[in-house]
Structure 1
Amino acid sequence: MPNERPFSAGDEGEEDAAPARPTKSKAKRASDRGGPDKRERILRAAIRVFARKGFYATRVSEIAKAAGVADGTIYLYFKNKDDVLVSIFEDRISKLIKVLRSELEQGGTFDEKFRRVIELQLGLLEGQRDLAEVVTVNLRQSSRLLKQYATPLFTEYLEVIAGLVAQGQREGVVRPDLNPRILARALWGALDGVAVTWALGGGGESGQLHRAASQVASVFLEGVRRNADRA
């Protein structure tokens, strides 16, 4: 994902209560005391600590120490530890969606766009094993957080991919019998599986995700492409 990394932090033992999002006034106070640079530093530190210790075993004080800030500074930016994890996901997926939308506006054939989408999604994780592990593994540790905060962005991501598939169908290059949203979910699942395996395997060698992107794209394109036999 993009280089900027959003984090939120909180106390352990708060998983049973739904995490409240920071208010605008709180965000403004945080901005007055260091702005996005300090927030980003906290987020980067949280990614490292979450990846090393896991979400539930991590303490807010450990994130603060890794970020080089006082424990109380964390709460100027984030409500609690749950909020840290949610912020990481929201920030990264929002940036991914923005990049994908921008790329799809550049034109090109359906095949070119489809391959580019896959290359971007995996390529943005290349060299960021900790981030990949936090987004693919740690977030799953709280199904409640996943349902409460991840669903809107996940739905938006699916709509971007489904829109591309629907465009290919209108152009006559994608099989008309395919449901664009089902294909979008299948693609997400495939890329998520590649990412989590790569992250848990220690990050692999350089270029591994790029090669995986090419293979996933080829498999999907062969499956969705309209040809004379299917017409």
Structure 2
Amino acid sequence: MKSPDKHRKIIRAATKVFAKKGFFNARISDIAKEAKVADGTIYLYFNNKFDILLSVFEQEIGKLIDQVSLLLKKEDNPKIKLEIFITNHLEEMKKNRYLAEVIHIELRQTSKLIREYRKNTFNEYLAIIASIIEQGQEAGVFRKEIEPEIARQMVFGALDEISRCWHIGNDCPFTTEEVSQQITSILQVGILAPNN
């Protein structure tokens, strides 16, 4: 019988192994060793290594979606919503170094495989940013000519680069709050409609 705890344990182990070795260099045996399970146990839960990577994104990004969605429900102001998204993402990436590295590296190296996956949870995550931009445009808070799809890539690119810098040994002298305020301020000056 499959155990949800063992499934989560394998996902956590795989996230760490993918972050350290990269998806293409990682082996099922590496993941099994990190999870402290037999190699064969992995195949009870996953079809192959790519299935594990997709499950990492489904589970870990799914948690981010649930978490930030709950926070955003409590706020109506699109300017504050954007700051909430940015702050939450940075805090989670700072807490989960291995996930940050997997997102940074694997979304680029395996992007063709990820694009072919229909239930792309990562796109759902980025769509939250676009949705906030659209809400701000409808409220007259953000400029109408801003393309939400481009804005979401730009916002995530900034967040991804900041989290990358935190995890490659560079000492960032700023707190998460300071970084969040700076990113939010820089972005919003560029997207705010006049008199906002």
Fold equivalence (TM over 0.5): yes
> How far apart are residue 67 of structure 1 and its match?
0.9
TM-score (norm: length of structure 1)? 0.76
> How far apart are residue 151 of structure 1 and its match?
7.2
Which residue number corresponds to residue 193 of structure 2?
A: 226
Flag the 1:67–1:206 CA change in 2: closer, same or farther, 3 A: farther
How do 1:12-23 and structure 2 match up within 5 A?
none
Which residue number corresponds to residue 51 of structure 1?
A: 19
Partner SS, residue 95 of structure 2: coil
The 2-side partners of 1:89 and 1:150 are apart by 13
The 2-side partners of 1:203 and 1:36 are apart by 36
Stretch deviating more after TM superposition (116-125 or 46-55): 46-55
Flag the 1:205–1:224 CA change in 2: closer, same or farther, 3 A: closer
Structure 2: unaligned runs, 5 residues or longer? none
The 1-side partners of 2:170 and 2:10 are apart by 23
Structure 1: unaligned runs, 5 residues or longer? 1-31
Of structures 1 and 2, the larger Rg is shown by 1
2:145 pairs, out of 177, 180, 189, with: 177
2:114 pairs, out of 120, 139, 146, with: 146
More helix by share: 2
Which residue number corresponds to residue 137 of structure 1?
A: 105
The 1-side partners of 2:153 and 2:178 are apart by 21
> How far apart are residue 72 of structure 1 and its match?
0.3
Map Cα deviations across residues 153-186 of structure 1 (whole Å, 9 max, x no partner): 3432333222211211222211122222221222
TM-score (norm: length of structure 2)? 0.88
Flag the 1:213–1:151 CA change in 2: closer, same or farther, 3 A: farther
Output the amino acid matched with 2:132. L
> How far apart are residue 50 of structure 1 and its match?
1.9
Which residue number corresponds to residue 97 of structure 1?
A: 65
2:56 pairs, out of 81, 88, 95, with: 88
Flag the 1:203–1:101 CA change in 2: closer, same or farther, 3 A: farther
Residue-pair matches, total: 196
> How far apart are residue 203 of structure 1 and its match?
7.2
Output the amino acid matched with 2:161. G
Which residue number corresponds to residue 4 of structure 1?
A: none
> How far apart are residue 208 of structure 1 and its match?
4.5
The 1-side partners of 2:115 and 2:67 are apart by 24
The 2-side partners of 1:154 and 1:104 are apart by 18
Map Cα deviations across residues 33-69 of structure 1 (whole Å, 9 max, x no partner): 3x11111111111122222222222211121111111
Flag the 1:177–1:212 CA change in 2: closer, same or farther, 3 A: same
The 2-side partners of 1:61 and 1:123 are apart by 31
Partner SS, residue 124 of structure 1: helix
CA-based RMSD:
2.3
> How far apart are residue 207 of structure 1 and its match?
6.2
